[in-house]
Protein backbone atom coordinates (compact mmCIF):
# COMPACT_ATOMS: atom_id res chain seq x y z
CA UNK A 1 0.00 0.00 0.00
CA UNK A 2 2.80 2.37 0.99
CA UNK A 3 4.68 1.54 -2.18
CA UNK A 4 1.71 2.32 -4.36
CA UNK A 5 1.27 5.67 -2.62
CA UNK A 6 4.93 6.54 -3.26
CA UNK A 7 4.52 5.80 -6.97
CA UNK A 8 1.43 8.02 -7.18
CA UNK A 9 3.25 10.89 -5.45
CA UNK A 10 6.25 10.52 -7.83
CA UNK A 11 3.94 10.65 -10.86
CA UNK A 12 2.25 13.75 -9.52
CA UNK A 13 5.63 15.46 -9.01
CA UNK A 14 6.84 14.49 -12.49
CA UNK A 15 3.59 15.70 -14.05
CA UNK A 16 3.85 19.01 -12.20
CA UNK A 17 7.44 19.47 -13.34
CA UNK A 18 6.53 18.66 -16.90
CA UNK A 19 3.62 21.12 -16.78
CA UNK A 20 5.90 23.83 -15.33
CA UNK A 21 8.54 23.48 -18.06
CA UNK A 22 5.87 23.34 -20.79
CA UNK A 23 4.29 26.59 -19.54
CA UNK A 24 7.69 28.26 -19.33
CA UNK A 25 8.55 27.31 -22.93
CA UNK A 26 5.23 28.57 -24.22
CA UNK A 27 5.68 31.87 -22.38
CA UNK A 28 9.20 32.28 -23.84
CA UNK A 29 7.90 31.61 -27.36
CA UNK A 30 5.16 34.19 -26.89
CA UNK A 31 7.65 36.79 -25.66
CA UNK A 32 10.01 36.09 -28.57
CA UNK A 33 7.15 36.38 -31.01
CA UNK A 34 6.03 39.65 -29.38
CA UNK A 35 9.60 41.01 -29.50
CA UNK A 36 10.00 40.11 -33.18
CA UNK A 37 6.63 41.60 -33.98
CA UNK A 38 7.58 44.78 -32.11
CA UNK A 39 10.91 44.97 -33.97
CA UNK A 40 9.20 44.45 -37.29
CA UNK A 41 6.59 47.07 -36.44
CA UNK A 42 9.28 49.54 -35.30
CA UNK A 43 11.37 48.90 -38.43
CA UNK A 44 8.32 49.34 -40.60
CA UNK A 45 7.45 52.61 -38.87
CA UNK A 46 11.06 53.86 -39.26
CA UNK A 47 11.05 52.96 -42.93
CA UNK A 48 7.70 54.62 -43.38
CA UNK A 49 8.98 57.75 -41.56
CA UNK A 50 12.17 57.82 -43.66
CA UNK A 51 10.20 57.31 -46.85
CA UNK A 52 7.75 60.04 -45.83
CA UNK A 53 10.61 62.43 -45.00
CA UNK A 54 12.34 61.67 -48.30
CA UNK A 55 9.14 62.27 -50.22
CA UNK A 56 8.59 65.51 -48.29
CA UNK A 57 12.16 66.74 -49.05
CA UNK A 58 11.88 65.81 -52.71
CA UNK A 59 8.51 67.51 -52.88
CA UNK A 60 9.91 70.62 -51.19
CA UNK A 61 12.86 70.69 -53.60
CA UNK A 62 10.57 70.31 -56.57
CA UNK A 63 8.32 73.05 -55.21
CA UNK A 64 11.30 75.34 -54.57
CA UNK A 65 12.70 74.66 -58.02
CA UNK A 66 9.34 75.38 -59.58
CA UNK A 67 8.96 78.60 -57.60
CA UNK A 68 12.44 79.82 -58.55
CA UNK A 69 11.86 78.97 -62.18
CA UNK A 70 8.51 80.74 -62.15
CA UNK A 71 9.99 83.84 -60.50
CA UNK A 72 12.75 84.23 -63.10
CA UNK A 73 12.10 86.31 -66.16
CA UNK A 74 12.09 84.35 -69.38
CA UNK A 75 15.30 84.62 -71.35
CA UNK A 76 14.94 86.88 -74.31
CA UNK A 77 16.66 86.37 -77.60
CA UNK A 78 19.22 89.07 -78.27
CA UNK A 79 19.33 89.95 -81.93
CA UNK A 80 22.75 89.79 -83.53
CA UNK A 81 24.28 93.01 -84.65
CA UNK A 82 24.47 93.33 -88.37
CA UNK A 83 28.03 93.34 -89.59
CA UNK A 84 28.18 95.90 -92.33
CA UNK A 85 30.71 95.68 -95.14
CA UNK A 86 33.74 97.87 -94.69
CA UNK A 87 32.49 100.17 -97.41
CA UNK A 88 29.37 100.88 -95.32
CA UNK A 89 30.81 100.85 -91.78
CA UNK A 90 32.26 104.35 -92.03
CA UNK A 91 30.75 107.43 -93.63
CA UNK A 92 34.05 108.87 -94.85
CA UNK A 93 36.94 107.01 -96.42
CA UNK A 94 40.42 108.44 -96.30
CA UNK A 95 41.48 109.78 -99.69
CA UNK A 96 45.22 110.30 -100.10
CA UNK A 97 45.19 110.82 -103.84
CA UNK A 98 47.54 113.69 -104.76
CA UNK A 99 48.11 114.37 -101.04
CA UNK A 100 51.15 116.42 -99.98
CA UNK A 101 52.80 116.08 -96.58
CA UNK A 102 55.27 118.63 -95.28
CA UNK A 103 57.81 118.23 -92.47
CA UNK A 104 57.66 120.75 -89.64
CA UNK A 105 59.96 121.54 -86.70
CA UNK A 106 56.91 121.29 -84.44
CA UNK A 107 56.79 117.53 -85.01
CA UNK A 108 60.50 116.83 -85.46
CA UNK A 109 60.54 114.10 -82.81
CA UNK A 110 57.38 112.38 -84.11
CA UNK A 111 56.05 110.88 -87.36
CA UNK A 112 53.48 113.62 -87.85
CA UNK A 113 53.61 115.78 -90.98
CA UNK A 114 51.46 118.75 -91.99
CA UNK A 115 48.86 117.79 -94.59
CA UNK A 116 49.19 120.57 -97.12
CA UNK A 117 46.09 122.23 -98.66
CA UNK A 118 43.70 120.40 -96.32
CA UNK A 119 41.46 122.17 -93.84
CA UNK A 120 39.46 120.95 -90.84
CA UNK A 121 35.79 121.95 -90.58
CA UNK A 122 33.73 121.07 -87.47
CA UNK A 123 31.04 118.46 -88.13
CA UNK A 124 28.54 120.44 -86.08
CA UNK A 125 28.46 122.94 -88.95
CA UNK A 126 27.10 120.27 -91.29
CA UNK A 127 28.61 118.59 -94.32
CA UNK A 128 30.79 121.11 -96.20
CA UNK A 129 30.55 121.84 -99.96
CA UNK A 130 34.26 121.17 -100.50
CA UNK A 131 35.66 117.78 -101.45
CA UNK A 132 35.99 115.65 -98.31
CA UNK A 133 39.21 113.64 -98.13
CA UNK A 134 38.83 112.28 -94.60
CA UNK A 135 37.49 112.95 -91.13
CA UNK A 136 38.15 112.63 -87.42
CA UNK A 137 35.66 112.26 -84.60
CA UNK A 138 34.72 115.95 -84.70
CA UNK A 139 35.98 117.34 -88.02
CA UNK A 140 35.62 116.89 -91.75
CA UNK A 141 38.87 117.16 -93.68
CA UNK A 142 38.40 119.01 -96.94
CA UNK A 143 40.55 120.23 -99.80
CA UNK A 144 41.11 123.90 -99.07
CA UNK A 145 43.78 126.31 -97.93
CA UNK A 146 45.35 124.85 -94.83
CA UNK A 147 45.98 126.60 -91.49
CA UNK A 148 49.23 128.36 -90.70
CA UNK A 149 50.97 126.87 -87.62
CA UNK A 150 52.93 130.12 -87.20
CA UNK A 151 49.67 132.06 -86.82
CA UNK A 152 47.46 129.49 -85.15
CA UNK A 153 43.76 130.09 -84.52
CA UNK A 154 41.69 127.50 -82.67
CA UNK A 155 38.78 127.94 -85.09
CA UNK A 156 41.07 126.84 -87.93
CA UNK A 157 43.17 123.95 -86.56
CA UNK A 158 46.14 122.42 -88.34
CA UNK A 159 45.62 119.11 -90.16
CA UNK A 160 48.45 116.57 -89.91
CA UNK A 161 49.06 113.01 -91.07
CA UNK A 162 51.04 110.07 -89.68
CA UNK A 163 52.27 107.95 -92.62
CA UNK A 164 53.47 105.15 -90.33
CA UNK A 165 50.06 104.62 -88.76
CA UNK A 166 48.14 105.83 -91.80
CA UNK A 167 45.91 108.22 -89.85
CA UNK A 168 45.16 111.96 -89.95
CA UNK A 169 45.12 114.22 -86.92
CA UNK A 170 43.96 117.63 -85.77
CA UNK A 171 46.27 119.99 -83.88
CA UNK A 172 44.02 121.84 -81.44
CA UNK A 173 46.55 124.33 -80.05
CA UNK A 174 46.32 122.77 -76.58
CA UNK A 175 49.28 121.33 -74.70
CA UNK A 176 49.26 118.71 -71.96
CA UNK A 177 51.72 119.82 -69.27
CA UNK A 178 52.95 117.84 -66.25
CA UNK A 179 54.39 120.03 -63.49
CA UNK A 180 57.23 118.85 -61.31
CA UNK A 181 56.42 117.92 -57.72
CA UNK A 182 55.91 120.98 -55.51
CA UNK A 183 55.42 123.40 -58.44
CA UNK A 184 52.30 125.56 -58.30
CA UNK A 185 50.03 126.35 -61.25
CA UNK A 186 51.17 129.96 -60.77
CA UNK A 187 54.06 128.96 -62.99
CA UNK A 188 51.64 128.49 -65.87
CA UNK A 189 49.30 131.41 -65.26
CA UNK A 190 51.55 134.11 -63.80
CA UNK A 191 55.09 133.26 -64.88
CA UNK A 192 54.26 132.05 -68.39
CA UNK A 193 50.96 133.91 -68.82
CA UNK A 194 49.11 130.87 -70.19
CA UNK A 195 45.45 129.94 -70.01
CA UNK A 196 44.57 126.74 -68.11
CA UNK A 197 41.70 124.97 -69.85
CA UNK A 198 41.42 121.99 -67.50
CA UNK A 199 43.54 120.06 -65.05
CA UNK A 200 44.10 117.03 -62.86
CA UNK A 201 45.91 118.25 -59.72
CA UNK A 202 46.31 114.71 -58.33
CA UNK A 203 48.68 113.86 -61.16
CA UNK A 204 49.93 117.45 -61.66
CA UNK A 205 48.63 117.49 -65.25
CA UNK A 206 47.07 120.54 -66.93
CA UNK A 207 45.88 121.46 -70.42
CA UNK A 208 47.02 124.93 -71.41
CA UNK A 209 47.03 127.21 -74.43
CA UNK A 210 47.86 130.78 -75.34
CA UNK A 211 45.46 133.41 -73.95
CA UNK A 212 45.60 135.32 -77.24
CA UNK A 213 45.27 134.45 -80.93
CA UNK A 214 46.89 134.05 -83.34
CA UNK A 215 50.00 132.54 -81.80
CA UNK A 216 53.01 130.54 -82.93
CA UNK A 217 52.68 126.85 -82.05
CA UNK A 218 56.41 126.20 -82.18
CA UNK A 219 57.21 129.21 -80.03
CA UNK A 220 54.75 128.15 -77.31
CA UNK A 221 56.07 124.60 -77.48
CA UNK A 222 59.65 125.80 -76.97
CA UNK A 223 58.67 127.95 -73.98
CA UNK A 224 57.03 125.01 -72.26
CA UNK A 225 59.86 122.59 -72.99
CA UNK A 226 62.51 124.97 -71.68
CA UNK A 227 60.92 125.78 -68.31
CA UNK A 228 62.65 123.92 -65.43
CA UNK A 229 59.42 123.63 -63.43
CA UNK A 230 57.76 121.52 -66.12
CA UNK A 231 58.35 117.78 -66.18
CA UNK A 232 56.88 116.95 -69.60
CA UNK A 233 55.00 118.56 -72.50
CA UNK A 234 52.81 116.98 -75.18
CA UNK A 235 50.94 118.70 -77.98
CA UNK A 236 47.31 117.57 -78.24
CA UNK A 237 46.45 115.87 -81.55
CA UNK A 238 42.98 114.46 -82.12
CA UNK A 239 43.02 111.36 -84.27
CA UNK A 240 40.86 108.62 -85.71
CA UNK A 241 41.97 105.16 -86.80
CA UNK A 242 40.68 104.12 -90.21
CA UNK A 243 39.86 100.57 -91.29
CA UNK A 244 42.08 99.11 -93.96
CA UNK A 245 40.44 98.58 -97.31
Contact by Cβ (8 Å): 195, 208: yes
Whole-number Å distance between alpha carbons of 162 and 1: 151
- Report helix, strand or coil for 56: helix
The model's confidence at residue 72, banded by pLDDT at 50, 70 and 90, is very low
Predicted pLDDT of residue 244: 52
Count CB neighbours of 26 within 10 A. 10
Q: pLDDT for 165-212, tens place per residue? A: 999 999 999 999 999 999 999 999 999 999 999 999 999 999 999 999
Predicted pLDDT of residue 81: 44
Whole-number Å distance between alpha carbons of 112 and 117: 16
From residue 235, give the alpha-carbon distance in Å to each of 14, 47, 218: 131, 85, 10
Give 72 or 190, the one with higher predicted confidence.
190
Predicted pLDDT of residue 56: 44
Whole-number Å distance between alpha carbons of 241 and 163: 12
Predicted pLDDT of residue 64: 45
- Report helix, strand or coil for 131: coil
Residue 21 has pLDDT above 60, yes or no: yes
Give 78 or 132, the one with higher predicted confidence.
132
Amino acid sequence: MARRLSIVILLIVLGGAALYFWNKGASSSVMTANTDASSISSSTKDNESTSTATVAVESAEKTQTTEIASNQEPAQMVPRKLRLPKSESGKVKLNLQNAEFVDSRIFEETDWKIWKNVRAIPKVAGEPPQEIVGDTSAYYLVKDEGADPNAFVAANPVVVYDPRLGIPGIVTGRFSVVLKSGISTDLLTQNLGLKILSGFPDIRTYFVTSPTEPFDLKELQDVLNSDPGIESVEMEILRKRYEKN
